[in-house]
Structures are given as structure tokens and as C-alpha cells.
Chains A and B, each alone.
Chain A
Amino acid sequence: MQTRPDVRGDVLMDVRELSVHYGLRGGSLARLLGRESGTVRAIDGVDLQLRKGEVLGLVGESGSGKTTLGRALLGLAPATSGSILFQDRDIATLSGRERRGIRRHIQMAFQDPNAALNPSMTIEEAVGDALRVHGVTSAAERRARVIETLERVGLAPVELFLSKYPRDLSGGQKQRVVLARSIILKPDVLVADEPISMLDMSVRAKILQLMLDLKQDLGLTYVYITHDLASAKYFCDRIAIMYLGRVVEIGPTEEIFAQPRHPYTQALLRAIPDPDPSRMVARDLPRGEIPDAAAPPTGCSFHPRCPVAQAECGWEARDLRTMLESHWTRATPEEYVRQAEVIGDLSHLDSPGVQTVTLGAGGAEPVQALLDSIRSAEDDPLWRGVAEMAPEGSGVRVRFHDGVDPALRRAGGVDVACVLYPETPAP
């Protein structure tokens, strides 16, 4: 079991309202003129504190921003706004050279062992280069430290490995080399980006155990980035669940797993495939998939998929389209044809952030009747968000409630960003 620091350690890194936005270059004309069209908010206002000696897990799926956040901590991803404080310096505002100096203290271990090592460097060169870059000029000293580090990560007999190339090693061995390279400078913080997800099952535990041992021996503080909640549960002291660039829930591991609060966290836990055959329960999963990060949903980003979404979660026209389409996947082809005629074209529902929209082409009454029948047949959270429906022209005007974008608030032992948990007024 991992050691949990009983004493609240000092805050090593303090991330405040960090945002990392990337500009999209879309369309050939826009590209020709060098104009940007649309931004991807990879990280959208994240507050985080990393305490000395702890293992903080960043858990999320693709597009959650966890990888970008990991890179931002090293200064590899440019921060659009906000700050990352480390040793009284703001990494977000450092110059290139200063940032390189910081990387003595904050290091990264990468996901794909096959790609993370330079194919034309021997193991000795690859691991020793970290020393070289930071000023250790004596080849003899480098060699000694490389040998010591390789032994520490369990690659023995060391002499055998020094002159090998990455292609001669197995996946697990390569990952050990990657770890060796990241600890040889004795950093304070190690950001591990999915270090075991590309390894075989029987090898993952080995590497995880190695990481725990290293933490003990070297007093490392880890940021463990993963999409695998199971390994996060074992390895981490605190876990931050991320969705589309935000932290939606953060708290101590036991608390998160014992009582997951955010609907997304609950869904993640339900979805983990478990080899225990007695645990084969039907799972009601959130529908849909992770939305496009360049045009995220309004209000709470999870609301289109949330089974318990409320009225104020930020409903918009796009959700109406999703609801209709999902209804039609369950309807018969004849029903679809009939209803599609009544509803008409849906493309005007695709713009983001539209709160009031007119729907339908077959006359106000038929459209309203159709919507009512859908509403009574299927219990979709969208209907809670509908403020009013009124006839307009040949269709129906639908207006949604105003949406809120929930900030993190305290709920029990965790912080969660969900309207289901009321914000406690500040004392």
C-alpha cells in the first residue's frame, strides 16, 4: 500500500486559475492568411495544489486536459493565463532558459516506452544526457551516476545494459530506463504521464511497485496522470478527476472511491471492466461521447451526457438536436421519416450557446404534439431545462433556463463542481 503522508506537507506547487488555450487553424483560406478560427481550451481555469511527498492523480479521458496540465507543470505547454508557482517562481512567466533550469527539479516520465527513447542513443548516453545537459561535464562522473541509477531501477547486471540500444529492450525494461532518466537528477517532482498504460498487465504491477520504491527512497512527489482509475486508486493519495479542461472533483482517494459525488466520477467508476465474474451488473452509462473541445457545451460541460442533469446546467439548442437524434435511433424507420418531415432541417441547431430556438417546419401544433409525445415516452433530463415552449410560425419556439457553470465547492471531504451540491456561503 502506498504511504500516505499523515502530516500536511508543504505546498510544493501552486497552480492558480491556469488556462492553456490553443488556436485552431481551420480551413485552407484561413490557413493561407494565417488567421485562427476557434480555440481549443485544453485547460480552462484550473486551481491545484501539490503537497510535498504526496501522489496526486490526474484522472480523465482523452480531451480532459490532464496531459496538457502535466506538460504545463514543466513549462512545456505555454500558459495563456494563470500562474504556476514553484519555489517562489512562476513557471508560466519564465524565459526559455530559466524554464530549462527548472527542469532539474521537475521531471517527466512518458507513456510510450517505444517512442520515449532516442533510437540512435545507447542506454548509457540516453540516461546520462540529462546530467550532461545540466552541467555534469565529467564523463566518468556521468557514468558512475548512470550505473547507480540503473541499478536503482532494477536493470541489472548494469554493464549489460549500458551499451544496448532501445530496440534491444522489452517494453518494461524501456520504461525502467525512462524512469531512470527522469530521476537521475534527483528532482523534487516527477510527473508520470500514463507510465504503465502501454505495458502488459503482468508488467504493470512491477513498474508501479518500482515507482513506489523510488518514492520512498528518493522522497519524490508524484503527479500521476492516467485514465485508469484502478491503478490510481492503488497509487494515489489524492485524485483530481478532469473533464474537458476542468477539474470536476478533487479529494482524498478513499473519499472519492467510497462516495463519488460528481456524476462523471460515478460513471467512470461504473464503467471500469472488472475481471471478477461475480461483479457483472448492468451499468447505465452516460450517453454520447466527449464533446469537441473547440466548441464545448455551455454551462457545465458534462450536462449533455449527465443522467441527473438539472434545469440550470446550461441547456442549449445543440442538446435538442442530440435528443432528437437519439430518439430516432430507437424509433422505427417509418416513424423517423414521418417525424423528420414534421421537424424539418436540424442544421440551425448546431451553433453553440443558443438558448432560444425555433424548431419544426410542419406547423406549430404537430411539432408541439411530437415534442410532447417524446417527452412522455422518454425521461430525458433535457426537459428539466426547458423553460417554455410556445408556437411560433410553422414551428415551436423553445427557450431553455439560464445555465450556470459550476465552480468547485466543498462537499463532505472533497471539492466538486456540480450544482447538485450547493455552495456553502462564505463565512
Chain B
Amino acid sequence: MSDLTTEPVISARDVRVWYGTTRGAIQAVDGVSFDLRPGETLGLVGESGCGKSTLGRGLMGLLPDGAKRDGEVRYRGRDIFAMSPKEAYGLRGSDLGMIFQEPLTRLNPLMRISEHFEETITQHEPKLSKDEVRTRALEALRLMGIPPTRYRSYPHEFSGGMRQRLMIALALVLRPAFVVADEPTTALDVLVEAQIVQILNDLRRNFDTALLLITHNVGIVAEACDRVAVMYAGRIVEQGTVADVFSNPQHPYTRELLASTISLSTTGLRFIPGSPPDLIDPPAGCRFHPRCPDAMRICASTSPIPTTREAGGTVECWLRGPRDLTPAERAPLAHEELSDADEA
């Protein structure tokens, strides 16, 4: 883990991704900022519809036509969003890597593994000889625990977990500085998931890759990430180190999310009433206020301002500052009876 004085690999500032539909514009990602340093793993966690996958795709330039993105994402000083598509495309593979959820659909069933690797490597480093390419590929596979005897196999001859390791190996063979992993373990069994998490952990130690891990599984974030960013309705509501945020959550949503996660130590069921907001017409003020047990008057009218947490990171909640509130603003919000129809 690098200290805070190192230059971040990726610096996102006020990223917005909006889709237009017949009903109005979906504000899928609405002002997200974060930094990622070399060798650091940032877990982007949230539930369905919070915009985390959209953010991942937006960073990679994989948005469908018609989606508009805004803001600034600096990679090694250059703004990815301001680059021409050709320039941005050139970064893929060698500088920016991607790991997706379902590996079988991302691997060409007609190509052997060796061919996959050869193609990837020679595209970016055409001067390497065939032997050198093979050595690089086998090295990447070895790190993933895939035996060299399987180098000439086809993707379908591997099991699910092995395929995901293959994907990771392919994404890393060019040693990109920044990798986005979108729900890499969601489709895998528990034991295999744990194996992949171990691999991702080793990655942090061996390479200096900055990893953005997008997931809905809070437990995986706790095991595999250094820092965490909690997303809700298109915004990051809390960021910080995993140890700090999980043991001392400052934002009510983070607190409720952790409390409602069923784990081996769960003794009572807790859940968050209501359901995530409609992103076309999100609630005024803080987007979480209709469901927040600690909501105050000001939460319904004014959006909270990001505040620094005590132990580092940020949180967006009027309960935490940045300024003192008047008694009128601090008055608890009278929740109208959440009609059951809004219950998820």
C-alpha cells in the first residue's frame, strides 16, 4: 500500500453520466470524485441502480451511444474524457485493463488460450519474438495458478473459476497501471470466490496495479480492498479506508447497509425501508433522506456538502458537517408514512 504522498494513478473529479430516455434523463452517475494510487484497491460498493457499473463503464469508455459523460478523469496527468476516441482506445490493455463478470462470454471460444495471449501481447508489443511472448504468457498464467500444461486448451475446457483467473491473467499480462473489475466474483461459487479474492490480494502485493473493484458484496470489499467508496443513487456518500469505514460508518446509509448485511454473526434482521429512488427525478436535497432514520429538515432541501472524515476520506451528510446547523435546520424530518407501495 502506498502512502498518501504518492501521485494518484487515476483522479476522477465530478464525473457525471446521464442517459436520455423518453421519460427524461436518467442521472445514473451524478458528481463522483475519487483518487486511486498505485498498488491500491478501491472497492466501489452499492446496490442495484446506484450507478457503480455505469461509472465503471464510463471510465473505460464503454458507454452506449447517446449517454453523455462529463467531468474529468486524469490518468497520469492526461484527461481521459477529453481525449479523442482513438487515443483513449490506445490506452486499453496496456494502461487500462478490464475484468468482467462472466468470463465465458468474453473469451473467444474458437481461440486457444495461447492465441488469446499472443494476440493481446503482440498487439501492444509487436517486436517481441514468439518465445518471448510465450514466456510472458506462461508467467502470467503461473501467477494465476494455471498450470502450463493447459496453455493450448480452449476456454470451454476450463471451469468457471479458472476462466476468471484467465481473464485476470489476460488483463494483467501487459501490466496496466489501472484495472477496473466489474463484479468479478458474482457468478462464482463461494470457495472459488475466496480463491479469486486471494489472487486479487496477491496482486496488490506483487504489482503496483491500481484496482477499482466494483461489487455489491460488502464482505468481498472487506477482504480484498484497501479503501472503499459507498455509492447511493449516483453519488459517493462515503469514502475512506475499509477498516475505518466499516468499523465506524459515518453516513446513515453505510451504517444501515452494513447492519442489513446478513453474516454469520447476524442475530436480528435489519433492513432499510423503502426502495432506491427514481434516478430520473431524484429527491431534492440529500438523495437518501426519504429513507434515512436520522433525516433532518435541511436534508430535504439542500444537498449535503462533502466533508473530510476524521481518519481520512470524505462523507456527504449534514450530520457530519461541514458547518454547524441552525436549530430549525436540525429539526428531525417528519417522515410521511412510507406507503407500502414504495417498499421494495
Contacts and interface: CB of A to CB of B under 8 A. Distances in A.
A39 interface: no
B91 interface: no
B294 interface: no
Contacts of B243: 277
B309 to A, nearest CB: 15
Nearest to B143: A329
A62 B257 CA distance: 27
A333 B191 contact: no
Interface in B23-75: 47-48
A268 B221 CA distance: 18
**Central interface residue in A173, A200, A206, A257, by most chain B CB within 10 Å:** A200
Contacts of B195: 285
A227 B221 CA distance: 19
B197 A171 contact: no
Interface residues of B, number: 59
A328 B146 CA distance: 9
Given A200-B48, A267-B191, A1 B343 contact: no
Interface in A194-246: 200-206, 208-209, 227-231, 233-234
Contacts of A171: 48, 344
Minimum-distance CB pairs A-B, first 10: A273-B219, A172-B344, A325-B147, A61-B189, A205-B271, A271-B194, A200-B47, A205-B269, A156-B340, A202-B272
Contact of B135 (A200, A233, A333): A333
Nearest to B217: A273
A156 B340 CA distance: 5
Interface stretch (B118-126, B260-268, B296-304): B260-268
Contact of B191 (A161, A200, A286): A286
Nearest to A286: B191
A94 to B, nearest CB: 34
B208 interface: no
A275 interface: yes
A257 B269 contact: no
Contacts of B47: 200-202
Contacts of A269: 264
B339 interface: yes
A6 interface: no
Contacts of A160: 341
Nearest to B194: A271
Given A173-B343, A202-B260, 10 more contacts: A154-B340, A205-B262, A206-B269, A209-B269, A230-B266, A268-B190, A271-B190, A274-B265, A278-B247, A286-B191
B269 A230 contact: no
Contacts of B139: 333
**Central interface residue in A202, A227, A272, A340, by most chain B CB within 10 Å:** A202
Contacts of A8: none
B104 interface: no
Nearest to A326: B147
B339 A230 contact: no
Nearest to A330: B142
A55 B252 CA distance: 33
Interface in B125-172: 135, 138-139, 142, 145-150, 159-162
Contacts of A277: 222, 242-243, 246-247
A257 B216 CA distance: 26
A286 B343 CA distance: 41
Contacts, number: 166
A364 interface: no
B115 interface: no
Nearest to B248: A277
A289 B257 contact: no
B281 interface: no
B3 to A, nearest CB: 20
Contacts of B260: 201-202, 204-205
Contacts of B257: 201-202
Q: Chain B: interface secondary structure?
A: helix
Interface in A152-209: 154-157, 160-161, 170-173, 200-206, 208-209
A354 interface: no
B155 to A, nearest CB: 15
A204 B160 CA distance: 26
A336 interface: yes
B344 A206 contact: yes
A157 B80 CA distance: 49
Contact of B262 (A231, A257, A270, A329): A231
B193 interface: yes
Interface string B187-222: 001111111011000000000000000001111111
Interface in A281-326: 283, 285-286, 289-290, 325-326
Contacts of B270: 205
A325 B344 CA distance: 48
Contacts of A275: 218-219, 221-222, 246, 258, 261, 263
A140 interface: no
Given A202-B256, A328-B148, A276 B193 contact: no
Nearest to B215: A273
A286 B270 CA distance: 33
B71 to A, nearest CB: 27
A273 B193 contact: yes
Given A154-B343, A208-B269, A62 B223 contact: no
B193 A206 contact: no
A407 interface: no
Contact of A233 (B191, B194, B256, B264): B264
A203 B194 contact: no
B275 interface: yes
Interface string A115-159: 000000000000000000000000000000000000000111100
B195 to A, nearest CB: 6
A138 B222 CA distance: 55
Nearest to B245: A277
Contacts of A273: 193-194, 197, 217, 219-220, 222-223
A32 interface: no
**Central interface residue in A205, A286, A346, by most chain B CB within 10 Å:** A205
A290 B161 CA distance: 10
Contacts of A346: 149
A280 interface: yes
Nearest to B222: A275
A244 to B, nearest CB: 12
A186 to B, nearest CB: 23
A61 B161 CA distance: 13
Contacts of B160: 62, 289
B193 A271 contact: yes
A289 B145 CA distance: 12
A418 to B, nearest CB: 17
Contacts of A170: 275, 344
